[in-house]
Amino acid sequence: MWESYQKEIADDNYYFARSCIRQNFFPAAEELFLKIVRQELGKDIYDDARQTSCTGIAYHSGIVPMETTMTVVARQFALMTEAGYENFVCSCVTSFGIYTEMLETWKHFPEKEQETREALKRATGMTFEIPKNLVHCSDLVYKFRKEIAAKTKFRLINKQTGEPLKVVDRIGCHYAKIFPKKGIGGAEFPYVLAGMIDEWGGVQVDYPERRHCCGFGFRQYLLKSNRSYSVSNSKKKFDSMEPYHPDLIIANCPGCTFFLDRWQYVISEMEGKTYGENNYGIPVLTYEELAGLLLGYNPWDIGLQVHQVAVEPLFDKLGIEYKPEEKYLGINGLNLGNPEMPTILKSC
Amino acid sequence: MNTLKEELLKDIRFVEGLNSCINCGVCTAICPAAQFYNYDPRMIADTVQKGNEAEIEQLLKGDTIWFCGECLSCKTRCPRGNTPGYIIQALRALSIETGFFIESEQGRKQLALKRTIGEHILKYGYCVYIDEIDTEMHPEQGPVWNWFKQNRTQMLERLGANYQKNGSGTLRQISKESLNDLQRIFDETDATERFEKIEKYSEQKAHELNIDSQEGKDAYFDYLHNGNNESE
List strands edge to edge, sheet with A133-136: A45-47, A14-17, A87-90, A133-136
Give the bridge partners for A285, in sequence order.
Answer: A250
What is the average pLDDT across B181-189?
A: 98
- Collapsed DSSP state (helix, strand, coil) of residue B218: coil
Give per-residue pLDDT as tens, B27-75: 999 999 999 999 999 999 999 999 999 999 999 999 999 999 999 999 9
Q: How far apart are CA A124 and CA A140, in angstroms?
A: 31
Nearest residue, CB atoms, A330 vs list B116, B154, B194: B154
What is the average pLDDT across A60-78?
A: 98
CB–CB of B109 and A341 under 8 A?
Answer: no
Looking at the complex, report in whole angstroms how far the Cα of residue A282 sits from the nearest Cα belonging to chain B.
Answer: 16
**Closest to A257 measured CA to CA, from A142, A347, A172, A346:** A172
CB–CB of B144 and A339 under 8 A?
Answer: yes
The dihedral through the CA atoms of A319, A324, A326, A327 has a sign that is: positive
Q: How far apart are CA A20 and CA A25, in angstroms?
A: 9
What is the average pLDDT across A207-220?
A: 97
Looking at the complex, report in whole angstroms how far the Cα of residue A316 sits from the nearest Cα belonging to chain B.
Answer: 21
Q: How far apart are CA A14 and CA A192, in angstroms?
A: 19
Chain B interface disruption, residue of A52, A69, A341, most B CBs within 10 A = A52
Q: How far apart are CA B75 and CA B30, in angstroms?
A: 10
Looking at the complex, report in whole angstroms how far the Cα of residue B54 sits from the nearest Cα belonging to chain A.
Answer: 23
Chain A interface disruption, residue of B75, B110, B155, B223, most A CBs within 10 A = B155
- Domains belonging to chain A, first-starting first, are 2-137 (1.20.1050.140), 145-333 (3.40.50.11810)
Within a 13 Å sphere around the CA of A255, how many CA atoms are in the beta-carbon half?
29
- Domains belonging to chain B, first-starting first, are 4-103 (1.10.1060.10), 107-226 (no CATH)
Burial class (CB in 10 A: 0-12, 13-18, 19+), B92: buried
Per-window interface: A 11-50 vs B, CB < 8 A: 18, 20-21, 23-24, 27-28, 30-31, 47-50
Residue-averaged pLDDT of chain B = 96
Per-window interface: A 182-221 vs B, CB < 8 A: 187-188, 211-213, 215-220
Q: How far apart are CA A33 and CA A202, in angstroms?
A: 21
pLDDT tops 80 at residue A3: no
Say what the pLDDT of residue B1 is.
76
What is the average pLDDT across A153-164?
A: 98
Taking CA atoms, what residue in B is nearest to A122?
B188
pLDDT tops 70 at residue B231: no
pTM value is 0.97
φ, ψ at A104 (rounded to 5°):
-65, -40
Q: Widest CA span of chain B, in angstroms?
A: 60
**Closest to A262 measured CA to CA, from A242, A284, A246, A244:** A284
Tell me, yes or no, if A331 comes closer than 8 A to chain B by beta carbon. Answer: yes
Give per-residue pLDDT as tens, A126-150: 999 999 999 999 999 999 999 999 9
φ, ψ at B101 (rounded to 5°):
-60, -25
Say what the pLDDT of residue A5 is.
79
Percentage of the residues of chain B whose pLDDT score is greater than 70: 98
